[in-house]
Amino acid sequence: MAAGEGDDSATTGSTLGYALLSLLTRGPATGYQLTQQVKAPLGHFWTARHSQIYPELARLSAAGWVDSVEQAGPGPRAKKTYAVTPSGLAALRAWLVIPPTAQPRSEITLKAYAATSADPAAMAALYTDLAERSTRLLAEFAQDAERMRAAGQDDPGHPRFGNYAVLMMGIESQRAVHRWACWLAACLRTGRPAAYGEPAGD
Amino acid sequence: MAAGEGDDSATTGSTLGYALLSLLTRGPATGYQLTQQVKAPLGHFWTARHSQIYPELARLSAAGWVDSVEQAGPGPRAKKTYAVTPSGLAALRAWLVIPPTAQPRSEITLKAYAATSADPAAMAALYTDLAERSTRLLAEFAQDAERMRAAGQDDPGHPRFGNYAVLMMGIESQRAVHRWACWLAACLRTGRPAAYGEPAGD
DNA sequence: GAATCCATGTAAAGTGTTACATGATTGG
DNA sequence: CCAATCATGTAACACTTTACATGGATTC
């Protein structure tokens, strides 16, 4: 430990840092490009704004987990293209196999918890809308999945297999949301216990 | 607007505030009791620590959305039992019918995005563990659901119908996680695209 | 010439976790 | 007597969102 620079294996990263490293394993990118790439398919399960991404890239760079090269940018500042370093990849690999503990947060489920306090018709409309939204998303995701399978991305050996895996989770989640929202809307509309799995006029 | 106190309908609450109001619609409770109650079934989709709950109760009280009565507590401070006020209930009802926009966050899905960067056997073990965990949770949730149905909580007219609705979402979510984790573990174990819906020796 | 995209950053405010701090009561 | 439960709070830190700030290049 001579100068406190370079690959210090004692450094700990944030989840956002590992998310950015994951994105950079697809290839070098600028902060701006990462901001776009985090939108899909990762955005269904993880989001970050540019205001969070730029400082985090600086931290990753200070930790020696990414390298950057500067080019003349369009604006007043230089454009920086980042790439993962070997120590960054090692850190990512170590983080990946740690079982996650974070609990999910779902505002729509929280609202269901208090469903009986609100107007039943308005709440039923909320969950009917949600069911429609999930139908749209499922159609969209199914198309994406078809395209990925055609490109061989459903093979675990493909470098972008992770994109396919995340999309599959999106499909499973939206199927779950759709079934639940249909059931809940039916309950609230009729005012009586509804059976599960019946689309009921959707 | 005379004194700046009482029910000021312009006040805006945080999601946590509405979560606490939702819990209090089940009946008056202390901050400590709310801390316990937020664990299940709501805890599968929303959590909060006591350090967040106590200050939020103070804010709700200042907004006139809850009332509190003090009793002699066991410790150095008085024990406060909170109850929702009519203006608090009105605020909750208004919030409930606003369509939520917050995106869910899932660390386990984020890790899947970078699955190909890690050791396949270690990653397969991670998702096999996840599948086992979801199996355990599903058995637990099924029992809870059975108990609730026996108590008539599956009726939208029951005051605790929301507990049942949240539990149903828990069941749907865990089913989705189970199918996905089994598929992903099979992919990583065999190194080849796996078919969906086959439990594959679980 | 107006809008959008590319591209980078900072500041302030809000939300959430971990740790600190106190003390009575109950059961083993 | 030790541990857990009941019961309430604060402080410091980490994470996230919203808003502020700049300015070139491209397209309508």
Any A CB within 8 A of B7 CB? no
Q: In A, which residues are within 8 Å of B184 by CB distance? A: 165, 168
Q: Which two tokens stand for residue B106?
A: 């899932």
pLDDT in tens, A152-161: 999 999 999 9
- CA separation, residue B103 to residues A35, A39, A88, B106 (Å): 16, 11, 28, 10
Q: Cβ distance A64 to A87 under 8 Å?
A: yes
Are the CB atoms for A19 and B109 separated by under 8 Å?
Answer: no
In this prediction, residue B196 carries a pLDDT of 83
Q: At what angle do helices B120-150 and B161-190 cross, to 10 degrees?
A: 160
Contact B96 A111 (CB under 8 A): yes
Residue A7 has pLDDT above 80, yes or no: no
Tabulate helix, strand, coil % of chain A (nearest 5): 55, 5, 35
Q: pLDDT-derived band of residue B2, with 50, 70 and 90 as boundaries?
A: very low
Number of Cβ within a 10 Å radius of residue B137: 17
Distance from CA of B71 to the nearest CA of A (A): 28
Residue B10 CA: distances (Å) to CA of B1, B6, B7, B63, B91: 11, 11, 9, 10, 10
Confidence category of residue B103, pLDDT binned at 50, 70, 90: confident
Q: What local confidence, expressed as pLDDT, does residue A4 receive? A: 38
For residues A113 and B165, give the distance between their C-alpha atoms in angstroms, rounded to a whole number.
7
What is the pLDDT, as a whole number, of residue A201?
42
Is residue B174's pLDDT more than 80? Answer: yes
Interface of B with A in 22-81 (CB under 8 A): 22, 25, 42-47
- Mean pLDDT computed over A33-54: 97
Query: Number of helices and strands (H, E) in chain B?
Result: 7, 3
Band of pLDDT at residue A40, cut at 50, 70 and 90: confident
Q: Do A176 and B180 touch (CB under 8 A)?
A: no
pLDDT band at B6 (very low <50, low <70, confident <90, very high): very low
| Pairwise CB contact (< 8 Å): A117 & B110 | no
pLDDT in tens, B9-19: 567 899 999 99
Q: Give the closest-approach CA distance of B170 to chain A in angstroms.
A: 9
pLDDT at A111 over 70: yes
Instruction: Give B73-99 pLDDT, tens digit per residue.
Output: 888 999 999 999 999 999 999 999 999
B163 Cβ partners below 8 Å, 6+ apart?
Answer: A113, B41, B148, B153
> Binning pLDDT at 50, 70 and 90, where does residue A10 land?
low
pLDDT at B170 over 50: yes
Strand locations in chain A, DSSP E? 29-30, 66-71, 79-84
Token pair, residue B123, equals: 């990653």
CB contact under 8 A, B156 and A191: yes
Mean per-residue pLDDT, A1-12: 51
Cis check for the bond before B41: say yes or no (omega within 30 of 0). Answer: yes
Q: Compare all CA atoms of chain A with the CA of B115 and give the residue at the minimum distance.
A: A162
pLDDT, mean of residues B145-170: 98
In chain D, which nucleotides are within 7 Å of a protein Cβ?
6-12, 14-20, 22-25
Averaged pLDDT for residues A172-201: 89
Two tokens at A143? 């198309």
Nearest Cα of chain B lies from the Cα of A69 at a distance, in angstroms, of: 23
Could you tell me the strand order of the sheet in which B79-84 lies? B29-30, B79-84, B66-71
Give me the mean pLDDT over the B102-113 stretch: 95
Q: Read off φ and ψ for residue A96, nearest 5 degrees.
A: -55, -40
Mean of the per-residue pLDDT values for chain B? 93
Q: Are A188 and A127 contacting, i.e. CB atoms less than 8 angstroms apart?
A: yes
CA distance B47 to B57: 15
Q: Is the pLDDT of residue B20 over 90?
A: yes
pLDDT on residue A3: 37
